[in-house]
Structure 1
């Protein structure tokens, strides 16, 4: 497999999963500098001109949540994704796509300094609604974690959601609520998470 990536992109998230799966030797990581992402050579691979982008047996997989889901399923023996007939599969997908959709949309708009009043006016057309609903959804999920989102075993959804929550706290987009701390501190013990700079900084 080839992973087109950039160390300063969202592709850093994928490397957490690669390490957790223990498949570093099965992936060739190809660095794509930002100035090359919209050049014709790379646009032939991904017309969006974005990384990360995974190529496996001639098939292109873009979007971080799709790559996470694909790899966790491909290496299902590692136990990071519930089976298709597992009742927990629904909750697993819920968290994967909440993080990829509503949470990152919320982070993007806050990062662009869109006024709260404007967000409130458009909340019906936004995937996250408003800030209170994002916080309520996250607090409920983490309060119910036992100790991970799906129960006793970690899943790719924990890594994916955890990374974005940690990053949002680092950027001061989300507050570091008491409800988040047990979950984040649990993730901090994983070898795969120890190189995440945002994690180290929020715990300093």
Structure 2
């Protein structure tokens, strides 16, 4: 497998997953500079000109949530993805794609300095609606976590959500609410998260 990535991309969220799956040595890491992403050679791999992008035996998987889902399913014996017939599969997918859709859209708009007034005016066309909806969804999920999103076992969805929560809190896009703290501290205590700078920053 080949993983096209760079240190300034959302693909950094994948590293804890690779560690949890114990497949770091099975993936060739290809660092690609931003200015080379839109050149013909890389566009043959991913016409979007974006990273990360995983290539496995000729299969090209772009989009972070898709790569999370693909790898967790490929190595299902590691226990990071519910089986296809597991009732928890629906909630698992919900969290993965909430992170990839509404949460990151919200973070991007806030990071670009889009005003609350503008967001309110366009809320019907936004996947997250408005800030109150995002916070309510997150708080509800954190309150129901026992201790992980799906219960007693950690999943790839926990790793993905925790990374983005801590990133958003570190850059003051989201508040560090009391409801978030037990979940963040739990995930942050795992060896796979030890080198993630956002966790070190928030716990400093």
TM-score normalised by structure 1 residue count:
0.99
Distance 1:79 1:198 in 2: 25
Partner of 1:112: 112
TM-score by length of 2: 0.99
**SS state at 1:29 partner:** strand
1:203 paired to 2:199: no
Cα distance in structure 1, aligned partners of 2:144 and 2:197: 27
Partner of 1:49: 49
The alignment status of 1:2 with 2:10, answered yes or no, reads no
Residue correspondences, number: 204
Q: Shift in Å at residue 35 of structure 1?
A: 1.3
| Alpha-carbon offset, residue 96 of structure 1 | 0.2
Compute the displacement of 1:202 (Å): 1.2
1:68-125 residue CA offsets vs partner (Å, 9 max, x unmatched): 0000000000000000000000000000000000000000000011110010011111
The 2-side partners of 1:7 and 1:125 are apart by: 32
Distance 1:196 1:15 in 2: 9
Residue ranges of structure 2 left out of the alignment (5+ in a row): none
Please list, as runs of the form range in 1=range in 2, the aligned pairs for 1:92-107 lying within 5 A after superposition: 92-107=92-107
| RMSD, aligned α-carbons | 0.5
Give the whole-Å Cα distance in 2 for the aligned partners of 1:30 and 1:75: 21
Partner SS state of residue 87, structure 1:
coil
Structure 1 ranges of 4+ moved more than 2 A: none
Distance (Å, rounded) in 1 between the aligned partners of 2:203 and 2:117: 32
3-state SS of the aligned residue for 1:108?
A: helix
